[in-house]
Amino acid sequence: MRYEEAVTAIKTAILQSQYDAAKSVNEKQLMLYFSIGKYISANSRGGFWGSGAIDAISEQLDKELPGLRGFSARSLRYMRTFYEEWAYLENDHNSESAGAKIELAIWHPPVPNYDAFPFDDFFAIGFSHHRTILSMVKDPQERIFYIRRCADQRYSREALKAAIARDEFHHQATLPNNFLTTFSAAEQAFRAVHTFKDEYLLDFINVEELGVRDNQELDERVVENAIVHHIKQFIMTFGKDFTFVRNQYHLQAFGEDQYIDLLFFNRALNCLVAVELKTGKFKTAYLGQLSAYLSILDEYEKKPHENPSIGIILCKDMNKAFVDFVIRDYSKPMGVATYKTSKDMSDELKRALPDIDDLKKLLDSTNE
């Protein structure tokens, strides 16, 4: 007898239970840090304590609670920042006592639109992630975006830093596309718009290691082979829910042979995704080629329960306004994005991205 279904069901229940338990513990920890931060803020900012108070308090805590971790002077200052940056989230029912004692925060504030605040996501990520977001991101809406992204994608701290370095906030839903006019269901179009970015950083493609002196010498097959060789990293960059089908996917119809550079399936969109790689600037001819591929995919490859296939052109450069103008007349759902290799990235961005060996370890541990 085969028990795969039972094992899957039980394993899912165990993992969900562990996640819920960890989330509850994490919420209590964040409430504690927020409340301690409030206490420290009220006393240190108000002039009640001297300049060395936080260091002295940390040293005394270490003496009285040996082995206690996470309450260094620097951590206490992070807690103060954590409170001060998110102070509006608290229902401050007893602000008069803030400098006298510590009371756990109440998290449902009477502020406009607080119901729209992602409290579940806020509590789902750890304090170190909050520290990273607060230190690297200043805009409140951008911070909320990365909180949501962390909770949804289960980002490690290194993956979070890489996402911020890629500036994912400003690359969301900006892909030139025709999804709104080519999908009959508005919800599917909305999902597609938010699935793809307008630019991808393929930092694992090292031009120097490939023996190419200049990016102009790159051809599509070289880029394709590099992506296939690092397919895990590419999917991590491309986004969740993608499954790699194969490269140079063979299409045959009416006696004509066609080959798609990269073919994926996206579980959330429930459709095939054809990716065409171009090493130069966008050309209108690319849309015609991709549209033909999508017609063949939908006619001969798409399953009855699947949604229409989507095509993405990945090129080195494009004029967004021009692409938006010409793509609207095509009847197949398509979008155009650009990519950068390691040579195109600034030194600052390279430093912010995780080391390739660390990324491999992260991917291996995730698979395990």
For residue 163, tell me if it sits in a domain. Answer: no
Q: Which of the two residues, 51 and 253, has the higher pLDDT score? A: 253
Cβ contacts of 297 within 8 Å, gap of 6 or more: 251, 260, 272, 274, 309
Answer with the one of 155, 185, 209 that is the final residue of a domain: 155
Distances 257 to 250, 254, 311 between C-alpha atoms, Å: 7, 9, 18
Answer with the one of 104, 127, 155 that is the final residue of a domain: 155
State whether 185 and 329 are in the same domain: yes
State whether 74 and 182 are in the same domain: no
Rg (CA), the chain: 25
pTM: 0.64
Answer with the one of 99, 131, 155 that is the final residue of a domain: 155
For residue 28, tell me if it sits in a domain. Answer: yes
State whether 248 and 287 are in the same domain: yes
CATH number, domain with residue 204: 3.40.1350.10
State whether 89 and 234 are in the same domain: no
For residue 166, tell me if it sits in a domain. Answer: no
State whether 180 and 288 are in the same domain: yes
> How much is the pLDDT for 299?
95
Largest CA distance in the chain: 84
For residue 266, tell me if it sits in a domain. Answer: yes
Domain count, the chain: 2
How confident is the model over 318-344, as a mean pLDDT? 91
CB atoms inside a 10 Å sphere around CB 271: 22
Quick: pLDDT tens for 123-151. 899 999 999 999 999 999 899 999 998 98
For residue 316, tell me if it sits in a domain. Answer: yes
How confident is the model over 216-234, as a mean pLDDT? 78
Residue 202: strand pairing partners: 341
State whether 130 and 179 are in the same domain: no
State whether 196 and 120 are in the same domain: no
Q: Which domain holds residue 58?
A: 4-155
Q: Alpha-carbon distance 279 to 253, whole Å?
A: 27
State whether 100 and 130 are in the same domain: yes
Residue 366: which pLDDT band, with cuts at 50, 70 and 90?
A: very low
State whether 199 and 312 are in the same domain: yes
How confident is the model over 319-340, as a mean pLDDT? 94
CB-based contact 340:191 (threshold 8 Å): no
